[in-house]
Amino acid sequence: MQMGLAGTAAGLLSGGMELMLTEPAQAQDVSTPDAALAELVNGNKRFTSGKMTHNEQDLAVLKAHTEAKQEPFAALLSCADSRVPIELIFDQSIGHIFVTRIAGNLVTPEIMGSLEYGALVLGTKVIVVMGHSNCGAVKATIDGKSVPGQISSLFPHIQPAVDQAGPDLLAATKANAKMQATLVREASTVISGMVKDGKVKVVAAYYDLGSGAVTFVE
């Protein structure tokens, strides 16, 4: 699978989807997984302290014609919740974060493929799987009530975390983020190989809607 995706990546790079990589707009070093993670931590500190800088960068990034180029240093798998604006939370600008979103921050084949693309083709150095406080998907899984449409299709993905952590919403949300991060890290032959080689790091995180703080979950 790894060789096939590598060939696909080469094809994308040489074809109509050619990715012209340039220096990222931020001045911070994001060349390694640890440095990329540190920039996310620092960005969240700027967000919670009200000292954000990303708005100052937006115009410069747009002038650099990012419509034809991207080199995100991090990838985020987060919940689709509208209260979780990824670029704002980490004080990052256009083109800095490769974002995938789905209710309950779940790993599906499509999500996994997107994260593999981000790591293999775009060169993201860190992948963060982030849950958040008051997550409706986790709460609904805990409640276990009948719901309309296909909403219940989310529940089997989250149930293992509820089984492990119990009915406590905070504990189940953190457990779900950890389980999904483990799935990304171990189930993808592409990402697991890059983790082994030290090219990318996969971590779980929790975002508190009230404080705005992101904590990383071990």
What are the pLDDT digits (tens) for 12-33?
Answer: 444 433 333 334 344 578 989 9
Q: What is the pLDDT of residue 14?
A: 41
DSSP helix, strand, coil percent of the chain (3-state; round to 5) = 50, 15, 35
**What is the predicted pLDDT for the residue at 23?**
40
Find the distance separating the first CA and the last CA of the chain, reported in whole Å.
Answer: 29
Distance CA(198)–CA(125), nearest Å, equals 9
Q: What is the pLDDT of residue 1?
A: 42
- In terms of DSSP bridges, do strands 214-217 and 201-207 run parallel, antiparallel, or are they unpaired? antiparallel
Per the listing, tokens 């493929």 go with 113
d(CA 32, CA 36): 6
Render pLDDT for 46-96 as a digit per residue (tens, 0 to 9): 999 998 887 766 666 666 666 777 889 999 999 999 999 999 999 998 889
Domains of the chain, first to last: 2-11+28-217 (3.40.1050.10)
Q: In what order do the strands lie in the sheet with 74-78?
A: 97-101, 74-78, 126-132, 201-207, 214-217
Whether residue 114 is predicted with pLDDT greater than 70 in this model: the reply is yes
Beta bridge partner(s), residue 217: 204
Task: Taking residues 192-205, report their average pLDDT.
Answer: 98
User: 166-202 burial string, b = 16+ CB within 10 Å, else e?
Assistant: eeebeebbbbbbbbbbebbbeebebbbebbeeebbbb
User: Which amino acid type is present at position 9?
Assistant: A
Q: What does the pLDDT read at residue 9?
A: 47
Query: Could you tell me the pTM of the whole model?
Result: 0.83
Q: What is the pLDDT of residues 117-158, one digit of tens each?
A: 999 999 999 999 999 999 999 999 999 999 999 999 999 999
Helix (H) / strand (E) element for 78: namely strand 74-78
